[in-house]
Chain A
Amino acid sequence: MGGFFRMPSDLQHSYLALVGWHLRLALVPVLIGLLIALPLGQLCVRFRWIYGPVLGVSTVFYALPSLAIFVLLIDWTGQTDTTVMIPLTLYTLVVLIPAITDGVRSVPEETHAAATAMGFGPVRRYVHVQLPIAVPAIVAGLRVAAVSSISMVSVGMLIGNEGALGNLLADANQYHRPILAWSSVITIAVIGILVDGVLVLLRRLLTPWAAR
């Protein structure tokens, strides 16, 4: 296993630094995606008719290949982290918007009415009743978005070493060191599964009332 954790010097990162960079490239987009999808999802709940078009637009974004968006963005954002994070952010929407919309819609009418009767205004009702009940659905969406995002970052390697752990793949080819490709694939898969586990844990913490 010699070389699994020892990174070639041209990467200018230690193994752990690559992992950190990879997580940042993959998860910042999920966070931004969530911040965009929460209000959009709420709009879709309030105005049913916009749900179809919103979902349609996000599906079209999703159909645009990451490599294609990367190269088209280089003109504006250069070979930077931003270039990698923009398409990843767009991709999360196709998962997160339906997760949030369906989750909030699944709140029973009686619960909604009870909150109103207790004097909850729209904002408090949203934060204290609708969102918590929607947590399982939202976390389910976050899991898919986060794991896919972690797996997709590597393609950034093709636009000039912007793929964090994916950059190992170019070196594996160039230096004929398969161990580097193993290191890349295994590490990415493991952090994907770990992040998935953390999100499951988060759901349990946020929904203590749910049956185990």
Chain B
Amino acid sequence: MNLFHFLNAFFSDSANWSGADGIPQRLLEHVEYSLLALGIAALIGLPVGLVTGHTGRGGNALALLATAARALPTFGLLVLLTILMGLGLTPVMVPLVALAVPPILVTTYEAVRTVDRSLVDAARGMGMGPLRILAQVEIPVALPLILSGIRSAAIQIVSTATIAAYVAFGGLGRYIVDGLSQEDYTKVVGGAVLVAGLALVTLGLFWLAGRLLVSAGVRRSR
């Protein structure tokens, strides 16, 4: 019984390809949770990171906040919130967002803060206001780093959304959690490989986004 045997058994079983517990449905749920969590985290992390990075103030407070958020155990928070609030979307979203905000926030702050000062000075000399400097100089130059922060957050969310299954949610974690309790190793391996695959696809999408969004001049200078 090796890995490939399990994989073959899992993916060739037609029962795994349709219905509420089918791969398309579970994959869709996983992507939904992930996108929602990433969206909320970006709505919090990006504006705060951009503004603090632009002004260069508040770095210490941000570092403290990021450490505190990082120290919160994602899985523990999920179980605790579920016990306190009952089954629902909020107990799943809060830990995932708390997981994703630090990388986005800290990387965006660092990315904008470390943009070459002479570029910013030149822009100001040309008569640009703070908003135009941020939008037309700082963000384009900082974009590769900002994207790497969002990428790291996205990968962590996709990997971690697996544990939502422990509190009766869907997603690809269903296969792993159910498989473990049913001692159905085929299911476990199939689910694990699907999550890993989705995380790798996420990685690929961000690589593509970097090629498309980062200005050619910035990419060459790196």
Contacts and interface: CB of A to CB of B under 8 A. Distances in A.
B187 to A, nearest CB: 10
Contacts of B162: 65, 67-68
Interface in A126-146: 143-144
Interface string A177-190: 01001101100111
B33 to A, nearest CB: 13
Contacts of B76: 154, 165-166, 169, 181, 184-185, 188
B71 interface: yes
A72 B188 CA distance: 8
A115 to B, nearest CB: 27
Contacts, number: 127
A172 interface: yes
Given A63-B199, A155-B163, A148 B192 contact: no
Contact of B83 (A152, A172, A190): A172
B177 interface: yes
Contact of B71 (A64, A173, A193): A193
A150 interface: yes
A158 B196 contact: no
Contact of B163 (A71, A158, A172, A190): A158
- Number of chain B interface residues as a range: 35 or more
B67 A63 contact: no
Given A72-B3, A172-B83, A65 B192 contact: yes
A196 interface: yes
Main secondary structure of the interface of B (DSSP, over half): helix
B54 to A, nearest CB: 22
Contacts of A193: 67-68, 71
A41 interface: no
B189 A72 contact: yes
B75 interface: yes
A114 to B, nearest CB: 27
Given A152-B74, A172-B80, A184-B80, 4 more contacts: A66-B159, A189-B72, A192-B73, A193-B68
Interface of B: 3, 67-68, 70-77, 79-80, 83-84, 152, 155, 158-160, 162-163, 166, 173, 176-177, 179-180, 188-189, 191-193, 195-196, 199-200, 202-203
Q: Which 9 A-B pairs have the closest CB atoms?
A: A192-B71, A68-B192, A65-B159, A63-B199, A185-B76, A181-B80, A188-B73, A169-B79, A151-B73
